[in-house]
A = this chain, B = another copy of it.
Amino acid sequence: MQTETEPLVLDEIDRKILAELQEDGRMTNVELARRAGISPPPCLRRVRRLEEAGYIKGYHADTDGHKLGWQIAFFVIVGLESQKLSVLEAFEALVATWPEVRECHMIRGGGDFLLKLVARDAAHENQLTQRLTNAAHVARVQTLQTIRTSRALSGVPMDRLYG
């Protein structure tokens, strides 16, 4: 789950395992083995191998943000007034300290970021966008409020892979 070694050659069974764990990460190894068509011991060894090689980076419960009091999810495109590495890194370091920032993607080669945030309510959202606007070297802030999410798949398609 951390060791990060060489690239592996994955076969059909490995892909099936990845697909199943992407879908249900808490499935028992017995059930996983059944679905993969092999017995539990080699199945577990494959899972461990995938974890150690970094193909599986971790496992996460998918929680209901709305029920947990995070009524709002939104994206923000942030433009910085500089493309200097130090400025970019400072911005990343800053937002990394905000728990409401769940994702931070650098886009278009530098100077711009796409963030995904959550907020407890509209006031909280405004506070967050204000904080972003006032942050050092921030030139532009465009908010994309999520009205509804019709699809939110984790991971990648597991059909026709290279691996």
Contacts and interface: CB of A to CB of B under 8 A. Distances in A.
Given A18-B68, A108-B145, 11 more contacts: A55-B67, A57-B62, A58-B62, A60-B154, A67-B163, A69-B161, A102-B152, A106-B147, A108-B144, A112-B144, A118-B156
B57 A59 contact: no
A26 interface: yes
The SS class assigned to the A binding surface is mixed
A162 to B, nearest CB: 4
Chain A: interface residue count, which band? 35 or more
15 contacts: A21-B60, A25-B26, A25-B58, A59-B60, A60-B60, A68-B156, A69-B161, A69-B163, A70-B157, A96-B150, A96-B151, A102-B153, A105-B147, A108-B145, A118-B156
Contact of A155 (B63, B120, B148): B63
A11 interface: no
A146 B106 contact: yes
